[in-house]
Amino acid sequence: MLKFVILLGLLASCLGSESTVEKSLDGKIVGGHSTTIQEWPFMLSLQVSYLGGLFTFHQCGASIIGSNWAITAAHCTEGMSASSLIVRAGSTNRYSGGSTHQVSQIIEHSGYGVGSTYNNDVAVFRVSTPFVFSNNVQPVNLASNNLNLAGGTYTKVAGWGALSSGGSSPDNLMEVSLPVVTNTQCAQIYGSSSITNSMLCAGYLAGGKDSCQGDSGGPLVAGGVQVGIVSWGGECAAVGIAGVYVRVSAIRDWVFTNTGI
């Protein structure tokens, strides 16, 4: 009995460590509304599996890009083994329904973690059993390497992250619409050395709507195409703050080189 109590204590400690894994980078839907997997059929919940799959814990979002491949943020997989991660596909609820798939291979961008910025915060991973495509499970189209979005262009981001800074997280998928903020504007917020050409910013400078922890690795889309990956930012939905995303067009060739997609 004592071993079981200690085990539960260790598990609780692990489950409480999400912020350390995500390095307090951006990732929760603030100021959004509920949506369904039918609207986001490429959406995945990337989960850490404990005790041989007895317990799972939502870690990040991810997107299906092929029958065996998905894309997320590198900070979501950093320090994790493939055997410790699963994804849930085809479900609005992050903990039930749809199908689960074991991650079998992780490839993080070699440029991630180089220098003082969160540049190249992208990873692709393979699953051991293929996704079965249906109305609820589909690959997303990735932005081409020559796509540039003008400031003010509206995008959408979805995820299972917290509803307010430090608040509770929903079991069901949420989404929010956000306008693109130019890199020039974003550099004025975070400093020119922090914002690179491989990043894309979006959000309301008036505050109130944003992505944050728990949404990290999830897709930012425009016109049905994934243009960004939730990466980092300041305080969620704060005045004068924009969320920072991986610019998919900038890493499109890297994805093809590593996955053939």
Gap between the Cα atoms of 8 and 219, Å rounded: 33
Nearest to 76 by CA among 137, 133, 160: 160
Find out whether 235 and 222 touch, Cβ atoms under 8 Å: no
Find out whether 79 and 21 touch, Cβ atoms under 8 Å: yes
Alpha helices per DSSP H over the chain: 2-15, 18-21, 74-77, 183-190, 248-259
Phi/psi of residue 254, nearest 5 degrees: -65, -40
- 210 is known as an active-site residue: no
* Collapsed DSSP state (helix, strand, coil) of residue 247: strand
Which is catalytic among the residues 45, 91, 109, 121? 121
* Collapsed DSSP state (helix, strand, coil) of residue 9: helix
Which is catalytic among the residues 45, 49, 63, 75? 75
- 216 is known as an active-site residue: yes
Phi/psi of residue 158, nearest 5 degrees: -130, 160
Catalytic residues: 75, 121, 216
